A and B are shown apart, each in its own frame.
Chain A
Amino acid sequence: MSALEDQFVAEARELIRQATDNLIALERDGMSSDRIDSVFRAFHTLKGSAGVVELPAMSLVLHAAEDVLDNVRHGTLVAGAEMVDAALACLDQVSRWVDNFEAAGALPSQAGEDSRAMAQRLRAFLPRSGDQIVSSASDLPKEKGQGSLPEWVSRLIAAERDTITSQMPKGPMAATAISYEPFAGCFYNGDDPVQLMRQVPGLLALQIEPREPFGPLADIDPYACNLRLRAVSSGSRDEIAALFRLVPDQIEIISVPPEALPAAKMHLGSGDQPLICKVIEAQCELMRIPDRADDLAGCIGAAARVAENALRHGQRPDLADTVKHAGALALGQRDAGPLLSALEKALAAFTSTPSTMAVNGESQAASERPADRVLRVSEAKIEALVNLAGELVVARNALSYSVGQVERKLDSGEVARSIQRDRDAIDRLVTELHGAVLQLRMVPFSQLFGSFPRLVRDLARQLDKKVALVTSGETTEADKTIIDRLFEPMVHLVRNALDHGIEDPGQRRAAGKPEAAKISIAASRSGDRLLVEVTDDGRGIDPSVVRRKASERQILPPDELAALSDEAAVDLVFSAGFSTASTVSDISGRGFGMDVVRTAIEQIGGRVSLHSNVGVGTTVRLELPMTIAMSRIMVVEAGGQSFGIAMEAVSETVRVAPDRVSTIKNNAAFVLRDRVVPIISLAELMKLPRRKRDAEPRLLVVMEAAGRIAALEIDAVRDRLDVVLKPMQGLLAGARGYAGTTLLGNGQVLLVLDVKEILP
C-alpha cells in the first residue's frame, strides 16, 4: 500500500469512530448544531478521502449519507432513531470496506451493489422536493444545471468535453448519461457489456475503466467483470432504459439538460488543459530570454499575471497563488529566476495532475489540516524494538552474573568496583530503555472504551431497555496487547450486564429504581496493576439461583455446593458450562460463557472477581498486569534443579513446622488462615530425588490460580527476576505443565511452571 493509502486507512478509522461517537451523542443528548456539524464533516471528509484513493463505491454511499445529514443540519430532516440506525449501518459498511481495502487493496466485488442499496436506503430519508435545484440554481448561476447532476455525470461531461462537442455539431441539446456497472458474474449470465454499449443510440462519449484497480496479471480472474462503463448519448432516457431493461440494478440513467453539456457551459473542463499549458510555456520562454535590463520589470509582471490567470482558469488557484508570489519576488529582485522556476514547477504540476484532482483538492486540503500530528509506526516495528529491548534485559542479567563471578575471582577490589559501577550504569540504562520501549506500546483505554457506547446503544434498542453508559479512566494507559486482548472479554461482560443483569423498565419501576439503568466501565491503575471494573445496577446475581443451576448442571457435587459460602457460590458463574440465563438469547448466549472471560483474562496474567448484591447490582473486577511482555518470576530450587514460577500466581511463601503438616488420605496438607491447603512436593512432581528432611520446617510457596489453592514444597528460593518468557518450542512444544522457558544470566535455560496445570 502506498503512503497515501495507509494514511487513508488510519484516518478513515478515526473519522468513522468520531462520526459514530457523535451520532450516538446526538441521539442521546438531542440535536445540537456542533454535533451535527461534526458528524457531517466526518462524513464529508471520509467521502473526499474515498475519492482520493479511488473507492467510488464508498464515495457513493457516503455521499448519500452526507445528503441526509445536510438536511438534518439545515433542519429539513429530523434525526430519528431509524435515521441514526441507517447512518451507523453506513459507517459499519464503510468500516468493513476499509478493512477489505487494507487487507486486499480493493473493495469486495459486490461493493458497488451494496453501496447502491445502502445509498437508496439512506436517500429514502430525504424530503421529497422536486424544485429544490431550481431555487438553488438561482443563487449560484455559475453552477446552473450542475447541482442537479450526480458528480459522476459532471465529471464525465467535463472529461469528454471534446468528444461530445465533436459529436454534437448542431449545438447544445438534451442528452442522457449512463453509468453501467456490470455484476462481477455477468459474463456467466451471457452478458457482454460492450455489446450492450454498442447498441446505445446516438453515442456521444464513452468511458471504460476498472471499478477497482487491476491487480497483477497473475491474480486476474478473466471471468469476473471489474469494469465500469459510462456514456453520454443523445438518445432519450426511455430508449436507453429499454435497451438496458435486463440489467436495471446495474445501471444508472440520468437526463442531462442541454445547458449542462459543454457547448453551453462556461465552466472549464480538462479540454483547456493543452491551451493553458501552451500559455504557461510561452511565459517560460519569455523569461528565458537573457539580458533584458530595460523592460524586465514589465515582462515579469505581465508573464506572472498571464500565467496566474491561466492557472486560475484551469481551476488551480493553488498554483496561481504560487506563481503570483514568485512574480512579486522576481520583481523585487529584478531577476526572472524565481518566476521561471515557479512557472516550470506549475507547468509540471498542472500537466501531471488529472482533472479530478481539482475536485478532490478540497478534501485533500482538509485531510492535511494541522491537527495534532502523531507519528504512525507499524506495530511490527514496535514489536521488533520490544523484542530487542527484551533481549537486552536478558543480556544485562547475564552481565550481572559475570560481574559476580569476576568479583569473586578478583582480589583487587579496585577493578571489581569499577566493573560493578559500569554494570550499574548499564543496568539503569537498560531498565530505562526497556521501560521507554514498552511505553511506545502503551495506549489509552479510550481506544477500548470507544466502541462501547455503540454496542450499548444497539443492544439496549434490541432489548427494549434503557441504559446509560458511564466510562471513566479513559486516559489510563496499558500495553496495546492487553487492551487488544481485553476487548472480547469486556464486550462479553457488558453484553451480560445488559442482557442478564439489567431488568426491563417495568421491572425496574416496580423495584423502585430509575427506569434507565446504569452500566459503568472504569479503568484505573493500582500500583503496577490495572483495574478494570464493569458495574451494573441491575438485579444482581442470586446465590441460591446459582446453587440450583450449578447442581442442575452438576458443576459440583451437592455436598460441596452446600458447603460454599455465598460469595464462592456466585463465583461459580465462571465455571465452564454455566449460564445463568434461563433462555439462550442471541445477545450473550453464543456459547461464550463467563468461563471464557476468566480464561481470556488469566491468559494475559490477570484475575477476575465478581461481587454482586441481589437487587442492587453486580461488579466484575478485572485485575491485570500493565504489560505482558515481561513476566516476573520466582526462581526456586527443588531436587537440585531450578524452576521458575510466575509471581502473579504466588500469594506467599511460608515456612511450616512439621507438626503443622497433617496427612489426609495420603496427601500432605496444612491449615493456613482457616483454609486447608494441600502440599505438593515439586521434587516428587518432577520425579527428582527428594531430600528427606521431615524433621525440618518445610519451605512452601502458596499458589492460587483459577480459584484453586495449593502449596508447592521447594528446597530454596533463589531469585526474583523479570524475564521475557518464551513459549515452549520444538520438541518441548507439547510438554505439559510448563508455561515457557527463559534464559538465565549464566546461560542456563530455566523452565517456568504452568501453575494452573500443577494445581490439583
Chain B
Amino acid sequence: MTIRRGDEDIVVLDGVCAVEDAETLLQMLQATPGALVDWTQCRQLHTAVLQVIMASGSAPVGPCGDVWVQQWLTPKLPQKGTAG
C-alpha cells in the first residue's frame, strides 16, 4: 500500500506512488473533503498522483519525500488554506 489513510482526515503517501495510485488518492480525497495529504514518506511521485494533489487545491503536509518534487514543484503548489 503506497497510499493509506493515516489518522483521521490524513492520507499518507508512502514510498513509490505510481500512476494507479492516483485513483485511490482521488477516491480518498473525495470521500473526505478537506483531508490533508502527508507526503513526507513518498519517495517518488507519479505525475498523475501529483495532478490529483494539485486538483484538490490544498498543499500537502510537510516537505515532500521526493526531493526533486520538493525542490522544483512544492513552491508552485497552492499554499495551505487556499483550497478551492
Contact = CB atoms under 8 A, between A and B. Distances in A.
A220 B47 contact: no
Interface centre among A194, A207, A223 (most CB of B within 10 A): A194
Interface in B19-33: 19, 22-23, 25-26, 29-30, 33
Contact of B68 (A198, A209, A210): A198
Interface in B29-59: 29-30, 33, 45-48, 50-52, 54-57
B74 to A, nearest CB: 11
B69 interface: yes
A564 B84 CA distance: 72
A192 B26 contact: no
Given A192-B46, A194-B50, A227-B51, A217 B72 contact: no
B55 A220 contact: yes
Contacts of B68: 198
B61 interface: no
A57 B54 CA distance: 21
Contacts of A195: 46-47
Given A206-B72, A217-B55, A225 B48 contact: yes
A187 interface: yes
Contacts of A223: 19, 22-23, 48
Contact of B48 (A197, A217, A222): A222
Given A187-B19, A194-B47, A222-B22, A214 B69 contact: no
Contacts of B29: 217
A441 to B, nearest CB: 38
A207 B26 CA distance: 23
Interface centre among A197, A222, A227 (most CB of B within 10 A): A222
Nearest to B50: A194
Contacts of A246: none
A217 B27 CA distance: 9
B48 A187 contact: yes
A214 B57 contact: yes
A227 B73 contact: no
Given A207-B76, A217-B30, A223-B22, A192 B47 contact: yes
Interface string A185-222: 00100011111011000010011111000100110101
A282 B54 CA distance: 37
A149 to B, nearest CB: 22
Contacts of A49: none
A227 B47 contact: yes
Contact of A194 (B25, B46, B57): B46
A220 B52 contact: yes
Contact of A214 (B23, B54, B72): B54
B69 A194 contact: yes
Size range of the interface on B?
20 to 34
A271 B82 CA distance: 22
A187 B47 contact: yes
Contacts of B76: 206-209
Interface string A216-240: 0110101101110000000000000
A210 B54 CA distance: 8
A208 B71 CA distance: 13
A218 B25 CA distance: 12
A206 B50 CA distance: 15
A642 B67 CA distance: 84
B6 to A, nearest CB: 19
Nearest to B56: A217
A187 B22 CA distance: 11
B56 A222 contact: no
A321 to B, nearest CB: 32
Nearest to B84: A214
A207 B52 CA distance: 17
Interface centre among B45, B51, B69, B76 (most CB of A within 10 A): B51
Given A192-B19, A194-B46, A226 B72 contact: no
A207 B72 CA distance: 8
Contacts of A217: 26, 29-30, 33, 55-56
Contacts of B51: 210, 222, 225-227
A724 to B, nearest CB: 44
A265 B41 CA distance: 41
8 contacts: A192-B46, A210-B54, A218-B30, A220-B26, A222-B23, A222-B51, A223-B19, A223-B48
Interface of A: 182, 187, 191-195, 197-198, 203, 206-210, 214, 217-218, 220, 222-223, 225-227
Nearest 8 A/B pairs, CB to CB = A222-B22, A214-B55, A194-B47, A206-B72, A222-B26, A193-B47, A222-B23, A220-B55
Given A194-B73, A209-B76, A217-B55, 18 more contacts: A187-B47, A192-B19, A194-B46, A194-B47, A194-B50, A206-B76, A208-B73, A210-B51, A210-B54, A214-B57, A217-B56, A222-B23, A222-B26, A222-B48, A222-B52, A225-B47, A227-B47, A227-B54
